[in-house]
Amino acid sequence: MNPKALHELGENIFEKKGQLNSLHQELADHFYPERADFSLQREIGDEFADHLMTSYPVLVRRELADQIGTMLRPSGQPWFKIVPEDPEREDHEAKTWLEASSKIQRRAMYDPAAMLGRTTKEGDNDYSTFGQCAISSEVVWDNEQEGGPHLLHRCWHLRDMAWQENRFGKIGNRFRRWRVSARELAQIFPGKVHASVERLATGSGKRAFTEVDVMHMVVEADLYDLSEKERKGRPWVSCYYDATNRHTIESLPQWSPTYVIPRWQTVSGSQYAHSPAAIVGLPDARLIQAMTRTLLEVGEKIANPPMIATDEVVRSDVQIFPGGITWVDRDYDERLGDALRPITLDSRGVPIGIDMQRDARQLLWAVFYLNKLTLPQRAPEMTAFEVGQRIQEYIRGALPLFEPMESDYNGQLCELDFELLRRAGAFGSPRDLPRSLQGERVNFAFMSPLHDVIEAQKTQKFMEAGALIAQATQLDPSAPAALDVGIALREAMAGAGIPTKWTRSEQAVRQAQARKEAEQNTQKILEGLKTGGEAAKNIAGASALLNAPAA
């Protein structure tokens, strides 16, 4: 396909997702009002949540998004590490290189210019509400103000993103609508924009800020009209197309797909995902808003009840504010009834309404999985077995939620950044790779509070194994041989988070053991020689005594 045909394909995909934008607008109205501009245009300064009676649905969405960030990317500690695809090839030299590379990638990702924190914060909220988010990652080479080349992450509005699945069920072609000023477009692509855009950009006043409709298309290379020589083995093509002037701004083959699109829960037949929390919780959010509105109205009527005034008796407006005076005809006979009296209201249903609202809130809290994300507290009277069972229950509840997020969300983001950094030379020359890693693919392992709990169990199991062997040794002195102490100790130390630099390689340990055994053997030989020398000396003395003449 040429750029024009690709643009028509992208417009067709955007047209088909119009109904999805309506659903996202409804979800955002209840759970994420800051993002509720899928089907309307917001102005700067508009109130986001003036249509809500209670902020509770917004709070549960925010809490889930914060939990995703805390569990998947805990601040203040490394949350990922690079590991080889084949664990058998991870020797001590490879571990050292992988740990150093993990630190390099972490520094690059958390460079302030990379904007990872802001981007993932926005992405987590989109992910919690809509079940997906769109994050781009690229290397910026020509930004001297930010200190030279660096990674740059950005989260894009789902309204402006569309994509297709390929035959393998993965996201293939990606399309992004982009409204950008002529001046900015000319600065980003100097000498490549259409002549009319160039004239606008160099014009004075507001003309330079006239917006141009651009579509960024990142498609699989075999879909684009490029020869194998032009592709240079790259699997993707990035094309910027000026839809306003029907002009191809830039078209380049590249190694990465630019956009990472994590998806929470998918259904067959659709390339778009959804949030099981927000979708299921939407009726409860509507119910809570309606119940809150009713309770507010009831409370207002009880605190400020409507009044009944006798016709032609009340001589002034009813003044029911503090200190107000209402004038009544002096000739009115009060025996006929109060000239001004409140309507009697039955407030016995208010506690029932509050209880119903409380139940609906608890249900919404559970719908957003927040009842499964609190680590159980250890009570003083609990035994170690009870604590272990509580932790196992916590893992069973939280792991199915976060494990897919780690591979699909963090995994995609880390793999894209690793590829960008590797090709930018951040990890040094490929010739510097340890021999065991040459030609080996790498994966990412993730650390989180949940995985800390899982890994810490290895240390506990090692201590339990030691206690069992100590008891078994009393019955059978050969029991310690049943445990491979070297392997068990290394896994227990890894579970406790002991850095690899603190430990010796298996080869170094074997060499140390060999030296120790050699020293012990040498000592035995020396002791044997010493014992033999003393024995010979004693024999020689005895012989001298036997051969001595009798007195």
* pLDDT tens digits along 290-334: 999 988 888 887 777 777 777 777 767 777 766 677 777 777 777
Residue 210 lies inside a defined structural domain of this protein: yes
Specify whether 311 is located in the same domain as 254.
no
Domain end point (choices 229, 261, 293): 261
Residue 191 lies inside a defined structural domain of this protein: yes
Give me the pLDDT at residue 390, please: 67
Q: In this structure, what DSSP letter does residue 378 have?
A: P
Give me the pLDDT at residue 43, please: 82
Average pLDDT, the chain: 83
3-state SS class at 360: helix
CB 174 within 8 A of CB 261: yes
- Give the whole-angstrom CA distance, residue 21 versus residue 12: 15
Give me the pLDDT at residue 218, please: 95
Among 98-102, 416-420, 477-481, where is mean pLDDT lowest? 477-481
Specify whether 178 is located in the same domain as 233.
yes
Specify whether 229 is located in the same domain as 310.
no
Task: Please state the φ and ψ torsions of residue 415, each to the nearest 5 degrees.
Answer: -65, -40
Give me the pLDDT at residue 500, please: 61
* pLDDT confidence tier of residue 340, bands split at 50, 70 and 90: confident
Domain end point (choices 199, 232, 261): 261
Give the domain range for residue 249.
171-261
Residue 150 lies inside a defined structural domain of this protein: no
pLDDT top residue among 375 and 84: 84
The residues near 430 (Cβ < 8 Å, ≥ 6 apart) are: 438
Domain end point (choices 261, 287, 314): 261
% the chain with pLDDT above 70? 82
Residue 214 lies inside a defined structural domain of this protein: yes
- Give the whole-angstrom CA distance, residue 43 versus residue 35: 13
* Torsion angle, alpha carbons of 120, 124, 130, 133, to 10: 20
Residue 102 lies inside a defined structural domain of this protein: no
β-strand 259-260 against 247-254: which pairing, if any? unpaired
Specify whether 188 is located in the same domain as 256.
yes
- Nearest C-alpha neighbor of 287 from the set 357, 349, 351: 357
Task: Please count the other Cβ atoms lying within 10 Å of the Cβ belonging to residue 170.
Answer: 10
Q: Which residue has the tokens 């009831």?
A: 298
CB 221 within 8 A of CB 260: no
Residue 124 lies inside a defined structural domain of this protein: no
Predicted model pTM: 0.77
- Nearest C-alpha neighbor of 413 from the set 217, 130, 135, 150: 135
* Token pair for 495: 């579970």
Residue 280 lies inside a defined structural domain of this protein: no
- Give the whole-angstrom CA distance, residue 359 versus residue 287: 11
Give me the pLDDT at residue 290, please: 93
* pLDDT confidence tier of residue 376, bands split at 50, 70 and 90: low
Q: How many domains does the chain have?
A: 2
Averaged pLDDT for residues 124-138: 95
- Nearest C-alpha neighbor of 155 from the set 132, 172, 174: 132
Task: Please count the other Cβ atoms lying within 10 Å of the Cβ belonging to residue 463.
Answer: 11
Residue 493 has pLDDT above 70, yes or no: no
Residue 190 has pLDDT above 60, yes or no: yes
Residue 32 has pLDDT above 70, yes or no: yes
- Give the whole-angstrom CA distance, residue 334 versus residue 330: 10
pLDDT top residue among 25 and 142: 25
Residue 203 lies inside a defined structural domain of this protein: yes
Give me the pLDDT at residue 332, please: 74
